[in-house]
Copies of this chain bind each other. A is one copy, B any other.
Amino acid sequence: MEFSSGLLENAVREMSQLPGIGKRTALRLVLHLLRQPAGQTERLAHALCSLREEVKYCSNCHNISDGDLCEICANPKRDGSLVCVVEDIRDVMAIENTSQYQGHYHVLGGKISPMDGVGPNNLNISSLVEKVKEGKVKEIIFALSSTMEGDTTNFYIYRQIEAYGVATSTIARGIAVGDELEYADEITLGRSILNRIPFESSLKR
């Protein structure tokens, strides 16, 4: 694309660095901002910069937080001996939306993925092992996506903590509520039969 202005070209180039935003979409977004009052662009720029500069991570669970401890870790009603290991803060938000979980979280910040150059040292794993060593944790719940990387990460962490006698569990895999059996993949369906639960306990939910 040939741009008639260097300023415009620069703005489009920076915008198209974002994932899923190509040059055409970037141009559309930038031209939209030009048609809006200047205040909107300033607010966007300021919000992004101040987040990037002032962002804090909870010292306990590594969730994004405004203070030293996030609201979840600071809440005395929540059970700190139950720790749910998730990949990123979107997973925390997803689980919080279910209102079914009253423990703490531990945000790894990614999954072990040698292909993308992410090793155990790039993730928040050592602080989790430290928590387990201190004897504060009774149960670790693995809630990573069940991909090769997720399974590798689960297993890596499991090997680090198994010596300390902490209970470990993983979230149930099975047919989603409302899904038709005939469209389920065979691995999921097979696991849902192997890991079946007593009918009476399913009635209570």
Contact = CB atoms under 8 A, between A and B. Distances in A.
A51 B28 contact: no
Interface string A81-109: 00000001110110011000000000000
A72 B2 CA distance: 12
Contacts of A8: 51, 55, 64
A147 interface: no
A54 interface: yes
Contact of A64 (B2, B4, B51, B71): B4
Interface string A27-60: 1111111100010111111111111111110100
A15 interface: yes
A113 interface: no
A86 to B, nearest CB: 12
Interface in A1-33: 1-8, 10-11, 13-15, 17-21, 25, 27-33
Given A4-B92, A11-B48, A38 B64 contact: no
A20 B25 contact: yes
A154 interface: no
A78 B21 CA distance: 34
A100 to B, nearest CB: 14
Nearest to A37: B52
Contacts of A153: none
A4 B47 contact: no
Contact of A4 (B1, B25, B40, B89): B89
Interface of A: 1-8, 10-11, 13-15, 17-21, 25, 27-34, 38, 40-56, 58, 63-66, 70-72, 88-90, 92-93, 96-97
